[in-house]
Structure 1
Amino acid sequence: MLRMSLGVILAGGLSLVAATSADANTDAAARLLVPHRAIYDLKLKNASERSGIEGMFGRMVYEFTGSACTGFSTNFRLVTKISTGEETRLSDQQTTTFEDMAANQFHFETKSFTDEQLDKQLSGDASIVDKGIKVEITQPDGREIELPSSDFPTSHMLDVIANAKQGKSFFEARVFDGSENGDQALLTTTVIGKSQSAQKDDVDADKAGEFAKSSFWPVTIAYFNENAVGDPTPVYNMSFKLYENGITRDLTMDYGDFVLSGSLAKLELLKPQQDPCPAPAK
């Protein structure tokens, strides 16, 4: 069953007491998320002949800041060098987002470069409304789109952590993150393994610093197009090891025709912003 967004649940008639309790639980979980900057080294794990890719490597930088009260910001940059045997090209994707969980609003901006030349720019805003979410694209063209009820990325991550802590191994959700052309939400299925600790052969556990010995959950999320028919194939799958504080490592990104692996190379904890919100009632 697809998880409905908070806005739609409230529209469905939950009592004020129940809504306040749900908000308090979400706020308490959000306070556990740690502001951080993570750098991942990427390399090609495998590629089909159809992909035309003979070699690929790169680096991904992910920065997560903010608080439950002020909202959460992400800065993401993915740089890869791709070899087809006949040519080599440099791909650079830069994305920033801001998610205001209290106001149910989400802002996104993406710039994509090929060989240092800008070839795509996208920006817009999304908000939860009574019947779903409303998306306002500001670049490259001004337009409005209405989509079914969806989670924004940080809210979805909190759902993953909540399900993991409850021992649930599978759940579904619809997620909007402003990717591609910013005009569609993706259906997701999430598989969560049992909590475990790093083993001696764990590829990047030593880069997790003070969290190296903390327990984590192995997670795999598959993303599907909304309008897929029959037995749909995921647009892509992402597997990773997830800590309760939102930090991830040991990534595998499966795009169908090729697969990338990402090892945590450096983790930097950032100074938390002052949170003006009062602590949730116990």
Structure 2
Amino acid sequence: MAAHHAVYKLSLRSAKGTNAPASASGAIDYDVTGSACDGYTTNFRQLVEVQPAEGDSKLNDMTSNTFENEAATDYTFNTKTSSGDDTPDTVAGKAQRGADGRIAVDTKSPKGHADFASDVLFPTQHLRHIIAAAERGDKILSADIFDGSETGKKLFHTLTVIGAPLTDAPDDPAGQAEALKGMRRWPVVISYFEDGKDQPDYVLSSDLYENGISRALKLDYGDFVLAGALDQLTVAPPAGPCKK
């Protein structure tokens, strides 16, 4: 897993249905620091301006700051979401995995508690499982994910479909980055389901590199689909061996 900073430009790829917007654009700023020795801190921000078929445009802003330790036993999260001029909704808390593997979540804003089964994964842990599955040649990975989003007590059921590995360099400038040259990548499609729902809440597609970097994003929200082109990429030098 490479520590890196990536910026993606978002544009409207397609729209359908009565709630389809006339236009949409924005950006994702994704910053990961840390290592397999020390855990990973992730700072994420997604800004999307949506122009409906009728009425004023609306700016959707979501910020997430998380830390996941190297053993995937501790996970802290702080997320803020706002739409238009609304007051941002903030959720902050901590999830801890006990000796039995079960996860206890305590939120302080708003105050609350939740418990999850031992097979639930945190986000970086999930990403590592996807890469490991791809390296084994697996085509499907099913997993339950806790990321602290929305209420801070919500679980997503995910289904990941993994395509055949690719090694040819993409045509876009970002794909020519030195850190990505000659590196394997897999087309992956991750569907996120709410509990009890047959249709996914959203679907994320991308080319996922073996070092955890993604390009060629596609975010499908049902009524519309956003394309995310990797616009900027900075990769940190590889971390040294873990200190004993």
TM-score (norm 1): 0.79
Tell me the secondary structure at the aligned position of residue 50 of structure 1.
Answer: coil
Q: Shift of the alpha carbon at 1:203?
A: 4.4
Partner of 1:191: 161
Stretches of structure 2 that go unaligned for 5 or more consecutive residues are none
Q: Shift of the alpha carbon at 1:215?
A: 2.3
Answer yes or no: is the 8 Å Cα contact 1:66–1:272 preserved in 2: no
Partner of 1:235: 201
Partner of 1:158: 128
Q: How far apart are the structure 2 equivalents of 1:248 and 1:165?
A: 16
Give the RMSD, CA atoms, in angstroms.
2.0
Which digits, 9 at most, give the CA deviation of each residue in 1:37-76, with x for residues without a partner?
A: 0000001111223224111000101001111222111000
Amino acid in structure 2 at the alignment position of 1:247: I
Partner of 1:179: 149
Partner of 1:253: 219
The number of residue pairs the alignment matches comes to 241
Q: How far apart are the structure 2 equivalents of 1:270 and 1:116?
A: 37
Q: Shift of the alpha carbon at 1:147?
A: 2.1
Q: Shift of the alpha carbon at 1:257?
A: 1.4
Tell me the secondary structure at the aligned position of residue 149 of structure 2.
Answer: coil
Answer yes or no: is the 8 Å Cα contact 2:6–2:30 preserved in 1: yes
Q: Shift of the alpha carbon at 1:198?
A: 3.5
Amino acid in structure 1 at the alignment position of 2:117: P
Partner of 1:93: 62
Q: 1:247 to 1:96 in 2, by over 3 A?
A: same
Alignment counterpart, residue 110 of structure 1, candidates 67, 70, 79: 79
Q: How far apart are the structure 1 equivalents of 2:181 and 2:72?
A: 35
Answer yes or no: is the 8 Å Cα contact 1:204–1:250 preserved in 2: no
Stretches of structure 1 that go unaligned for 5 or more consecutive residues are 1-32
Q: 1:127 to 1:196 in 2, by over 3 A?
A: same
Answer yes or no: is the 8 Å Cα contact 2:169–2:175 preserved in 1: no
Partner of 1:64: 32
Q: How far apart are the structure 1 equivalents of 2:236 and 2:147?
A: 24
Tell me the secondary structure at the aligned position of residue 88 of structure 2.
Answer: strand
The answer as to 2:23 corresponding to 1:51 is: no
The percentage of aligned residue pairs carrying the same residue is 35
The answer as to 2:41 corresponding to 1:73 is: yes
Q: Shift of the alpha carbon at 1:256?
A: 1.2
Q: Shift of the alpha carbon at 1:277?
A: 2.6
Q: 1:119 to 1:173 in 2, by over 3 A?
A: same
Answer yes or no: is the 8 Å Cα contact 1:39–1:266 preserved in 2: yes
Which digits, 9 at most, give the CA deviation of each residue in 1:82-137, with x for residues without a partner?
A: 11142112222111000013260101101123346532111011112336211101
* Paired residues for 1:113-132 under 5 Å: 113-115=82-84, 118-129=87-98, 130=100, 132=102
Q: Tell me which moved more, 94-103 or 170-179.
A: 94-103
Tell me the secondary structure at the aligned position of residue 49 of structure 1.
Answer: coil
Partner of 1:265: 231
Q: How far apart are the structure 2 equivalents of 1:104 and 1:70?
A: 12
Q: 1:35 to 1:274 in 2, by over 3 A?
A: same
The answer as to 2:190 corresponding to 1:221 is: yes
Q: How far apart are the structure 2 equivalents of 1:78 and 1:181?
A: 18
Judging by fraction of residues, say which structure has more strand. Answer: 2
Judging by fraction of residues, say which structure has more helix. Answer: 1
Answer yes or no: is the 8 Å Cα contact 1:96–1:108 preserved in 2: yes
Tell me the secondary structure at the aligned position of residue 102 of structure 1.
Answer: coil
TM-score (norm 2): 0.91
Q: How far apart are the structure 2 equivalents of 1:204 and 1:113?
A: 32
Q: How far apart are the structure 2 equivalents of 1:275 and 1:213?
A: 23
Answer yes or no: is the 8 Å Cα contact 2:20–2:223 preserved in 1: no
Q: Shift of the alpha carbon at 1:271?
A: 5.0
Q: How far apart are the structure 2 equivalents of 1:253 and 1:233?
A: 15
